[in-house]
Amino acid sequence: MLSRMHLFSDWQILELVFKFLLLIVPLLIAVAYVTLAERKIMGAIQRRKGPNVVGTFGLLQPLADGLKLFVKETVIPANANTYLFILAPMLTFILSLIGWVAIPFTNGSCYTDINLGILYLFAISSLGVYGIVIAGWASNSKYAFMGALRSAAQMISYEISIGFILINIILCVGSLNLSLIVESQKDVWFCFTLFPIFLMFYISILAETNRHPFDLPEAEAELVAGYNVEYSSMAFALFFLGEYSNMIIMSTFCTLLFLGGWLPLFNFLSFIPGIFWLASKIIFFLILFIWIRAAFPRYRYDQLMRLGWKVYLPLSLSAVFLCSGLIATFGLFITW
């Protein structure tokens, strides 16, 4: 009996490892090719070719970049805190991966379907600032420390607005479960009924992921790459992978909350698999990330903070009062 129980537990562990690899390996491949897509799309916007030498149409360029970073020497500054210096990129990368366990890809297809899915993802995204702050402090560099301080202030500022925006979704659905939020959009997507909130949320996740035009923590012209200026080889690669993984998970989060997740826009298109719709919407948001980087100039830091505290915070708080007032007055949910 004991040997059978031991064998069963081993099989359970193998099954969990297999499911984890089935989730993580495609994600890492997607992250690698998002970097290639960014360079190609920005090249097209700027009327140049982008990577086109390594492999057909440059398709092997991400693998060549990864190999180059893997074989380079890891340089640790003499006065840096060695343990925290090494821990910071690992923490950033791990946090960017564990958020995916609560993401539903289709109805019933989820690594773990928890009832507090929104709260879990919000908590994981909030923890991401620790890796950046630790990296900036442990590097013992003024540029890195300034980038870490900027990132902490920026992420905390915009997380408040994101929190109020999520409250609107919770009020409309009555649940924090991501699968139920998607199913509640079977008649109409939230991007239509809550369009101003949808715009605020997408701009806020640009700031939350430190992407252009809100990439102040790593402003090349001011901070010489900011918090990761002292990093090289695989330590830098982990920061790089973490940033693009956060882009993908935030695009997925936005898709689930506002674009109906795996649901088609029209019911007569329901014969197409749900995973296709989810992937198409995520790719749309990722292309929007890249287009914004190529089209818009970087904000000044005071403009960034003014936008977060004086514009988005009052608007998102007003939206909460408006949605809750409508629901309390008419006694029904906005979407039902």
One domain, residues 63 and 106: no
- Whether pLDDT at 113 is above 80: no
Residue 40 lies in a domain: yes
Domain limits for position 162: 72-330
Which of residues 67, 94, 125 is at a domain's end?
A: 67
Domain-ending residue, one of 28, 49, 67: 67
Note whether residue 224 is domain-resident.
Answer: yes
In a domain, 260, yes or no: yes
How buried is 222 (Cβ within 10 angstroms: 0-12 exposed, 13-18 middle, 19+ buried)? middle
**Cα 224 → chain centroid:** 24
- Same-domain status, 128 and 212: yes
CB 160 within 8 A of CB 317: no
On the question of pLDDT at 300 being above 60, the answer is yes
Amino acid 162 reads I
Structure token pair of residue 40: 């190609």
pLDDT at 144: 84
Distances (CA, A) of 119 to 124, 132, 155, 186: 9, 22, 16, 23
100 and 159 share a domain?
yes
333 vs 17: which has the higher pLDDT: 17
What's the rounded mean pLDDT across residues 85-96?
89
Q: Cβ(64)–Cβ(54) under 8 Å? A: yes
Reply yes or no on whether the pLDDT at 1 is more than 80: no
- Look at residues 67, 100, 121 and tell me which one is the last residue of a structural domain: 67
Which of the four pLDDT bands, split at 50, 70 and 90, describes residue 202? very high
Q: Residue 5's pLDDT is what? A: 45
